[in-house]
C-alpha cells in the first residue's frame, strides 16, 4: 500500500508532457521506486546519523531529520570540488539548529543513493520535518529531472532511467513526514553528458539546469537556480547557494516561506545577478515553520 501511494505521489510531480513522454516518464518513476524499495547493500554507505545539539525535538516540539548528500568525486565526468564541502556545511548548520538526526552522505553511487533514500524515508515517517539537501550534478531528460550518482555512465539519453536517480524518488523520501517536506537542490549545473550523450528516443534533452516541477500540496522544493538556468559551483570553498543558505537559515523568527525569498535575493545579489534560486510548492498553509523560532 505504501509503495503504491509513493508511486502515485511521485508520478503526480512530473511536468506536463505529451502523452508518449508522460507514459515513458511514469513507467520510469514506477521502476525507480521499485529499486528504491528493494533491499540492496550500498557500495558506499552513508555516514551514521548524528544527533543535533539539544533534545530530539526542536523548540517547537517538532522532530526534525535531514539527509545531506554531496556528490563531487565523479568517475566518468568532470568532478566537482564544492558539493562535498557544501554538504558538510549544511549538515553542520542543521546539527547546530537542533535537528534530531542529520545524515551526511558524500559521494553516493547509484546503489548507495537508493539505499540512503530508503533508510531516510523510514526515518521521515517518524518525524515532523524531513529535509533532503543535494549538491552535485543534475540534468533533465524529457521533462524528468535526474540527480547523478558518482558512478553514472550515460552513453545515451535512455541510460538516465537506469543510471541516475529521478527527483521524484527524492520527493517521495520526504513524503512520510507529518508536517514540513522540504527538498533543497544545489544541482542545476550544466549537463555533464551534453556533448557525449547520444539521443535514442524522441525526448527533449537540455544542456542547462533542471526543468520546472509541480509538487503536490504540502511539499516544498527549492532549486539553487530557476529551471533552465545554471547554478554556480563557486570560486571559494562553497557554492553561493550553500554559503547564503547556511547563513540565512540561522536568522531567528523567519518563517520558511520568507526565508527562501531572502535566500533568493541574497544569492541573486552575491552572484551579481547570475543566479536566482526558485521555490516550487509550499508547506501546509495552516502552520508556520521556523528553523530558528526565536523568543
Domain residue limits, the chain? 2-218+228-239
**Residue 19 pLDDT greater than 60, yes or no:** no
104 confidence band (pLDDT: 50, 70, 90): very high
Do 223 and 185 meet the contact criterion of CB atoms below 8 Å apart? yes
Rounded to an integer, what distance in angstroms lies between the CA atom of residue 274 and that of residue 256? 24
What pLDDT, in 10s, does the model give residues 232-260? 777 788 999 999 999 999 999 999 999 99
Averaged pLDDT for residues 95-100: 98
285 vs 8, more confident: 285
Query: Between the ranges 111-120, 185-194, 221-230, where is the mean pLDDT highest?
Result: 111-120
What pLDDT, in 10s, does the model give residues 126-140? 999 999 999 999 988
What is the maximal distance between C-alpha atoms in the chain? 58
What pLDDT sits at residue 44?
A: 47
157 confidence band (pLDDT: 50, 70, 90): confident
Rounded to an integer, what distance in angstroms lies between the CA atom of residue 118 and that of residue 116? 5
274 vs 156, more confident: 274
Handedness of CA 138, 141, 144, 150 (dihedral sign): negative
**Residue 111 pLDDT greater than 50, yes or no:** yes
Strand boundaries in the chain, DSSP class E:
64-70, 101-106, 129-135, 138-141, 144-147, 165-166, 180-186, 219-223, 278-281
Rounded to an integer, what distance in angstroms lies between the CA atom of residue 128 and that of residue 178? 5
**Residue 231 pLDDT greater than 70, yes or no:** yes
Do 147 and 213 meet the contact criterion of CB atoms below 8 Å apart? no
**Residue 147 pLDDT greater than 90, yes or no:** yes
Compute the chain's Rg from CA coordinates.
Answer: 18
The model carries a pTM of 0.80
Could you count the other beta carbons within 10 Å of the beta carbon of residue 195?
Answer: 8
Rounded to an integer, what distance in angstroms lies between the CA atom of residue 277 and that of residue 287? 24
Averaged pLDDT for residues 165-185: 97
| Span between the terminal Cα atoms of the chain, in Å | 42
Rounded to an integer, what distance in angstroms lies between the CA atom of residue 203 and that of residue 104? 34
274 confidence band (pLDDT: 50, 70, 90): very high
**Residue 262 pLDDT greater than 80, yes or no:** yes
175 confidence band (pLDDT: 50, 70, 90): very high
**Residue 168 pLDDT greater than 80, yes or no:** yes
CATH level 3 topology of 2-218+228-239: Rossmann fold (3.40.50)
Do 206 and 186 meet the contact criterion of CB atoms below 8 Å apart? no
What pLDDT, in 10s, does the model give residues 40-81? 444 445 565 666 554 344 446 899 999 999 999 999 998 999
Do 261 and 254 meet the contact criterion of CB atoms below 8 Å apart? no
30 vs 292, more confident: 292
Average pLDDT, rounded, for the chain: 82
Amino acid at each position: 500500500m505504501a509503495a503504491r501511494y509513493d508511486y502515485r505521489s511521485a508520478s503526480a510531480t512530473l511536468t506536463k508532457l505529451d502523452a508518449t513522454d508522460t507514459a515513458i516518464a511514469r513507467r520510469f518513476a514506477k521502476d525507480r521506486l521499485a529499486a528504491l524499495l528493494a533491499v540492496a547493500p550500498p557500495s558506499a554507505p552513508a555516514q551514521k546519523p548524528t544527533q543535533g545539539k539539544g533534545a530530539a525535538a526542536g523548540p517547537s516540539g517538532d522532530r526534525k531529520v535531514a539527509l545531506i548528500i554531496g556528490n563531487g568525486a565523479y568517475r566518468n565526468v568532470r568532478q566537482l570540488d564544492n558539493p562535498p564541502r557544501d554538504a558538510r556545511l549544511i549538515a553542520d548548520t542543521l546539527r547546530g539548529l537542533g535537528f534530531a538526526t542529520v545524515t551526511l552522505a558524500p559521494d553516493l553511487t547509484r546503489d548507495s543513493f537508493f539505499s540512503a533514500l530508503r533508510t531516510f524515508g523510514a526515518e521521515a515517517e517518524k518525524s515532523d520535518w524531513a529535509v533532503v539537501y543535494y549538491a552535485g550534478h543534475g540534468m533533465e531528460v524529457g521533462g524528468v529531472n535526474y540527480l547523478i550518482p558518482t558512478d553514472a555512465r550515460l552513453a545515451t539519453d535512455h541510460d538516465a532511467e537506469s543510471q541516475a536517480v529521478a527527483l521524484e524518488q527524492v520527493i517521495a523520501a520526504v513524503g512520510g513526514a507529518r508536517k514540513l517536506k522540504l527538498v533543497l537542490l544545489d544541482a542545476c549545473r550544466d549537463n555533464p553528458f551534453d556533448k557525449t550523450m547520444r539521443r535514442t528516443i524522441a525526448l527533449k534533452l537540455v544542456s542547462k539546469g533542471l526543468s520546472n516541477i509541480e509538487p503536490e500540496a504540502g511539499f516544498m522544493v527549492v532549486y539553487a537556480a530557476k529551471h533552465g538556468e545554471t547554478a554556480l559551483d563557486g570560486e571559494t570553498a562553497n557554492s553561493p547557494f550553500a554559503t547564503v543558505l547556511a547563513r540565512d537559515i540561522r536568522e531567528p523568527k523567519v518563517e520558511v516561506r520568507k526565508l527562501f525569498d531572502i535566500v533568493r535575493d541574497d544569492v541573486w545579489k552575491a552572484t551579481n545577478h547570475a543566479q536566482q534560486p526558485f521555490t516550487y510548492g509550499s508547506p501546509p498553509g495552516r502552520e508556520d515553520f521556523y528553523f530558528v523560532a526565536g523568543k
